[in-house]
Structure 1
Amino acid sequence: MAESMQERDDVLTCSICMERFRKPVMLTCQHSFCRECIALYAEKSKPVQTDETSGSTGNEDVHQLIACPVCRSPTSLGRKGVAGLPPNFQLAEVVQRFSSGVTVEDDAPYCSLCEEGNHVKAVKFCTNCGVFYCEECLAICHPMRGPLKRHQLISPLEYLSQETSQGQVNRDHQSTQQPSCARHGQPFGLYCEPCRMVICMGCVVEHQGHAMRDIPSAAENEKPGVLSRTNELEKVLGETKESLSGVLRLHSKIQENQELHTEEVEKAYCAALEALQAWRQHSLDGIRTRYSQWSVECSAILKHLQLQAQEMERMVQASNDLLASMDVEFLQGSTDFTKTYV
């Protein structure tokens, strides 16, 4: 117990001032220090230029690089300096909890599987399942045998004491990457082989008697089948691509022939149109010539007939006038009429 208390104090102690953290901030390497301590440390460190500012013209901001006091990894302070470093709120919360006199055991989380209204303090936390267990639920739902034998169980004290920067980053990464059961809200931790589905610890009761595996070994067991299917699909894909290339070549040839035949039809059409236009012009010229000649001849005949009609009209008028005259005048004029019109 004394060793655990010592480990807890080490976790909550700044490695610069060797006291409990005050307003802890994180460096790029995820190590945390008091804001005031890292500010003093940065003032004593020699400022250097980053790669982004090397070769600057003098107008750019020069960002100071500091080496982590623990692992010596570089961290760029940026334009805001130490004020721009992200605070470690989780670590600050744990420090405040211990400073207020509340022990981890008193503030331990409840079992995640106990029914509502019957909450029991957890005694173990599974880092693989992400679930807190009381003694009863641990024995029923998480026996350390079979696929669960590989899971890591830690105490709530260890879980809450691991509120360091790196531990929090790992848990955040796990919570964002690992899917959870929609029914129970717990991360998937097992694979039911008969049902061929991943399940959480809350689903174990529904799958009692089924052969189960932990997810990593189940994934390794399923990979050969998926790999074989992938190879088959790649083979089919290759054949499909080859067929696709053939169809593309055929399609290109069809378009080429279409353009060629279209051009031939256009040429034939233009030639036929030109010949038709020539025949039309020749026919129209012949019609105009013939009908012009016939029109001239018809006009001459018409004029001749008009003159004859006029002369006949004069003869008829003279005859009528002679007939209407007195007998003496008629006899005198008939001789001249006969001579003129007979």
Structure 2
Amino acid sequence: MAESMQKRDDDLICSICMETFRKPVMLPCQHSFCRECIDSYAGKFKHVKTNESPGSTGYEDVHQLIACPLCRASTSLGKEGVAGLPPNFHLAEIVERFSSGVNVEDDIPYCSLCEEGNHVRAVKFCTNCGVFYCGDCLAICHPMRGPLKRHQLISSQEYLSQETSQGQVSRDHQSTQQPSCARHGQPFGLYCEPCRMVICMGCVVEHQGHAMRDIPSAAENNKPAVLSRTNELEKVFGETKESLSGVLRLHRKIQENQKLHTQEVEKAYRAALGALQAWRQHSLDGLKTSYSQWSVECSAIFKHLQLQAQEMERIVRASKDLLASMDVEFLQGSTDFTKTTDDQLKGVRSELEKHEVSRQKLLASVQHDQVVPRQVTVKETVQECQDLEAAVGGQISPLRVTSKFLCIKGIQ
């Protein structure tokens, strides 16, 4: 409450003199200042002349342009200067009431549509509907479009000001004047029941033979019918307010459910994304292990074959050297060469067979591990995920996503 009082006090202070407003006036930008303060402030700005326009009298208009002390918006004071600025009567009244110790907020009525126990002070009053609205109810129940676009909305403070002034004027008017006939200028004194209208003594001739009553008794006689209709209207009005409250509750429920479902979707998305990231990392780790092992085995086969190739190259060179030697040397070395070469060829062929077996086995492993796209499917139940697993083969991991399941093939 202290903070509210302090804020309200600050709202009643002129931003130029830093004192409570004295005879506040309003600039076109809707900012208000003391008349004396803005007059002194305007003295800092020069007068300017407007260019003569076609069809003018030949005289140049002289006016003064000032910048708003708060928002710097340009304002033309016109020929009257500061005296031509409109007074802010509403602000002046609030200052007067606040200075006298009256709590302005206590007079502001509550919203007509809010639920019992959750009353909120009204911010607007519709002069056409006769209903007070808080900010939420105004946006939902009284949008300024369509047929409601023509309705006049005023602030709650403005309504209080109008109510006070109109009430006083009405009371003064009633105390000083009595309704009179427009034709004869005489006060009304009788009520014609067949015609259902009030008349003066000058109208009696026109209503000869009609049943007449004095105005007080006629008013009392007609009040029950009006009261009955008033009660019926109040009943229907109450039902309308109840319906509006129900629609308002429904709208809030829609907003709450949208928020909750959005959170569920985001949560499910993060869970699914986490599962897919885990599958990705698991798959990459498995690929790295398998292909690293296969690369080592392939390198070992290559090195063995490379050594055998070098040995065969050496034997081929020795054979060519033996063939190119003298006959005696050829005959002396051919026997040993033939025996040695046969043993080496036998060993090389055996190694080649072993390496070929290893190569074929390794090739089969690599070809068997083909890269295929993983299947991601949304199913209603775990049973449907199991049926999918039986249909496609392989491991299926069902991940719960809100009321459904995200079935991902390949996650172990």
| TM-score bracket, shorter-length normalisation | 0.3 to 0.5
Between the two structures, name the one with larger relative contact order (CA 8 Å, sep ≥ 6): 1
- With normalisation by structure 2, the TM-score equals 0.31
- With normalisation by structure 1, the TM-score equals 0.36
Question: Which structure has the bigger radius of gyration?
Answer: 1
